[in-house]
Amino acid sequence: MNETQANSTITLRLATRDDRRVAKAIYDRKEIDSLHSLASAGLLDGLLVFMNDIGFMDVLKRFSIASYKRMILPPVQFILTYMTKILLDIPSMNALPEILFANCAAMELLGLNAQVLKEGICNRGHHSRTPGKKKPTPFSPQTLANVLARFSLEEAE
C-alpha cells in the first residue's frame, strides 16, 4: 500500500452546530450522548501563548511535588487543569468531567492527547465502569484535588 492509498482511508468528522436537532432531541426526551461547546477552547490560546512567551510554562514544566515519589502525569498537567477550571469559571471539581474533560479542544491545548481523553491514563477503576455509560476521564476530580492538596507551602508559593 503506498502513501496515497493509506491516506485515502482517513476520514474526517467535522464538528457542526445544529441547535434545531439538539432542541428536538431534548423535546422528544431522547438520550443525548454529549454536547460540546465549540467556542471555549479559543479562550485559552492567548493565555497559553502569553505564559509561554514570559517563560512561565518552562517554570511549570520543571515543577515537582516533593511528597510524591512517582506520578503518572507531570504536575504541570494538574496545575494547568486547575488554572483552566478557574479561568472558565467551572463551579466545582465534580463538574470537571462534564464541562472541561468533555472539551477535547481545551484538553488538547493543556497537553492531553486524544487517546488519553478516550481511554484515560490507566485502567485503574476500569472494571467498575458500566460499559457505555461513563466515559473514562484523564483523571478524576478527586485525583486533581489530592495532587493540589499535597503541595507544601513553599511549593504553592
Please tell me the predicted confidence (pLDDT) of residue 98.
83
Alpha-carbon gap, residue 120 to 6, rounded angstroms: 28
List C-alpha distances in Å: 3 to 11, 13, 45.
15, 21, 33
Please tell me the predicted confidence (pLDDT) of residue 3.
47
Alpha-carbon gap, residue 113 to 110, rounded angstroms: 9
DSSP string, 31-56: -------SSTTHHHHHHHHHHHHTTH
Alpha-carbon gap, residue 15 to 96, rounded angstroms: 21
Q: What is the pLDDT along the chain (157 residues), one digit of tens a residue?
A: 444 444 455 554 555 667 788 788 888 888 776 665 555 556 787 888 888 899 988 888 888 777 777 677 788 888 889 998 988 888 888 888 888 888 888 888 888 877 777 777 776 666 666 666 666 678 888 888 888 888 888 877 7
Please tell me the predicted confidence (pLDDT) of residue 1.
46
**Distance in Å from the first CA to the final CA of the chain:** 56
Please tell me the predicted confidence (pLDDT) of residue 5.
47
Q: How many CB atoms lie within 10 A of CB 50?
A: 11
Please tell me the predicted confidence (pLDDT) of residue 129.
61
Please tell me the predicted confidence (pLDDT) of residue 54.
93
Phi, psi angle pair for 104, to nearest 5°? -60, -40
